[in-house]
Amino acid sequence: MIQPQPKQADAPWAIDVRGVTKLFAGRTVVNRVDLQVRHGEIYGFLGPNGSGKTTFLRMLCGLLVPDAGEGVCLGFDIRRQQRQIRARIGYMTQHFSFYDDLTIAENLDFMARLYQTPRRRETVADALAHLGLQERQNQLAGVLSGGWKRRMALAACMIHRPDILLLDEPTAGVDPKARREFWDEIHRLSAAGLTVLITTHYMDEAERCHRIAYLAYGNILARGTAPEVVAQSGLTTWLVEGPDLAALAAELRRLPGVDQVAAFGARLHVSGSDAGRLRDAVAPYRRPPHAWKEISAGLEDVFIHLMTQARDNFTP
């Protein structure tokens, strides 16, 4: 069974970085980010495309050097001890990055050779068995479905028993059943002591993380547990049901005090950051044939709200 290495008992944080900054072509893509992640924690990184999530992961695992900031990953300096960090981290990239013309078993064997893994054949066989890849081990990686590619990629990232797993949108394009199985495995590894930093666009996945941070255009706008992030937003949300919701939504979006109107199936979520102003704005509409009910804002409501407030760092 694949298991992470025992954590370093003398280090209070698996990741502890402050002021991490990265610029490309004079533009700041990661802006003075502070992050502390506990051993065995699943930490979710959320944000729109281009928000700097992947760049931040690459700085943590030693593929990029920060332009400013300092800190440690597994007790090693992120600026001066990148080789030691890379040896102890498993990094699953956003896009499939293994060899299409090799079989699953051959890809895993290649990774085991790369990391000079002891008892290589036994380790590969264990990885195949643990992630249910035995019957497909002789299939070429290039013909696998998205879900099976992700499963193989996870096995490859864990082949050297890392202490930290960095996952960049690992379930994008994967069906719900495969996503659930993937997350069940992540929680099992976390319970065994593995630290996981994961980027995702799925709100249900964010809720499965122990803590989350919302990164927009290089800046962290919110952090904490999912309920803490919702509470910190100060967002008030009304749920609306009834006929002709598309027409109603168009009217509501023009009202002062209404920050966003989003359709959720046959319902609307109407949200605003000023509860009193929002209540006054929608008061004339709270009558039959529509039913209104004040509810707790969801993570999606909060993240859309945060995204609309953020300034794109590539805007002139």
Examine the domain organization and report whether 262 and 191 are in the same domain.
no
Query: What letter would DSSP give residue 142?
Result: G
Examine the domain organization and report whether 199 and 275 are in the same domain.
no
Query: What letter would DSSP give residue 5?
Result: P
The model's pTM: 0.88
Question: How far apart are the C-alpha atoms of 150 and 140, rounded to whole Å?
Answer: 14
Maximum distance among all alpha carbons in the chain?
72
> Does residue 307 belong to any structural domain of this protein?
no
Count Cβ atoms below 10 Å from residue 118 Cβ, excluding itself. 9
Measured CA distances, 231 to 210, 234, 301, 302 (Å): 16, 6, 12, 9
Contact 239, 248 (CB under 8 A): no
Number of residues written out for the chain: 316
Examine the domain organization and report whether 203 and 100 are in the same domain.
yes
Examine the domain organization and report whether 254 and 148 are in the same domain.
no
Cα–Cα nearest to 157, from 145, 169, 167: 167
Examine the domain organization and report whether 150 and 84 are in the same domain.
yes
Contact 28, 219 (CB under 8 A): no
Any idea which residue has 């805007």 for tokens? 315
Residues of the domain holding 267: 236-296
Structural domain tally of the chain? 2
Examine the domain organization and report whether 93 and 171 are in the same domain.
yes
Examine the domain organization and report whether 209 and 285 are in the same domain.
no
H or E element: which one contains 72? strand 68-73
Question: How far apart are the C-alpha atoms of 15 and 8, rounded to whole Å?
Answer: 12
Cα–Cα nearest to 103, from 130, 81, 134: 134
Q: In CATH, what number is assigned to the domain containing residue 279?
A: 3.30.70
Rounded to 10 degrees, what is the CA torsion of 170, 172, 173, 179? 60
Question: How far apart are the C-alpha atoms of 150 and 33, rounded to whole Å?
Answer: 29
Examine the domain organization and report whether 223 and 164 are in the same domain.
yes
Examine the domain organization and report whether 198 and 288 are in the same domain.
no
Examine the domain organization and report whether 243 and 182 are in the same domain.
no
Q: In CATH, what number is assigned to the domain containing residue 114?
A: 3.40.50.300
Note down pLDDT in tens along the chain; length 316 residues: 444 444 444 568 999 999 999 999 889 999 999 999 999 999 999 988 888 999 999 999 889 999 999 999 999 999 999 999 999 999 999 888 899 999 999 999 999 999 999 999 999 999 999 888 999 999 999 999 888 998 999 999 999 999 999 999 998 878 888 889 899 999 999 999 999 999 998 888 999 999 999 998 899 999 999 999 999 999 999 999 999 999 999 999 999 999 999 998 899 999 999 999 999 999 999 999 999 999 999 998 998 888 877 666 555 5
